[in-house]
Amino acid sequence: MRSLLAPLALVLAFPALPAAAQVRSQADLDCVTRETSPDYRARLAATITSDDEKAFDETAPQFYAAANLCAEQLGLKGKQAEAYFEYAISRISVEHFGKVMRDAAVPVEVIDTFFGFGPGKTNPIIDKIEDGRIEKLIEALMAKGVKAEAFTDAVTAAIGGYAATMGRVYAYQAQVQAYQAQVK
């Protein structure tokens, strides 16, 4: 069981963000997913999660162009656009982590419930998952039928990445929503 725990003890350094107002629509926020293909987003997420700076530098310009276009369409500038950029890159990362888990038959819903992710939930910012909590998460997943062999390094890294990023998606979303309310 110990080998399953190490990849989940992922620590990411993101600033904590305040919760805020409602967005015009989720479709407005997800502009970057409309402006980029699923294959492109998968390549971008792979470069982000691999820490391959050269690959990211080669892949990122299309993301920057799409994010800038979307921020402009949403009326966001400066720090507002930066918050949208963080939302979009976090959203793409979560999409990637979710796909890795679904491909391994690991139900994302269990992770959402376990940590409190989702509309109207606590959506905590998770910087580190303690071993005891990881064990409880693995137990919850196995109780839902996930087999021990599903916990490959890639899947456990995706679970850790998802947990570390999902709360940030909601925090950045709230920040962008607050900015959008100001632009109206």
Q: What is the pLDDT of residues 11-60, one digit of tens each?
A: 233 333 333 333 457 888 889 989 999 999 999 998 888 878 899 999 99
Query: Which pLDDT does position 40 carry in this prediction?
Result: 94
Residue 5 has pLDDT above 50, yes or no: no
Residue 41: which of 85, 80, 81, 94 has the closest Cα? 94
Q: What is the pLDDT of residues 126-145, one digit of tens each?
A: 988 888 898 999 999 999 99
**Average pLDDT value for residue range 152-168:** 93
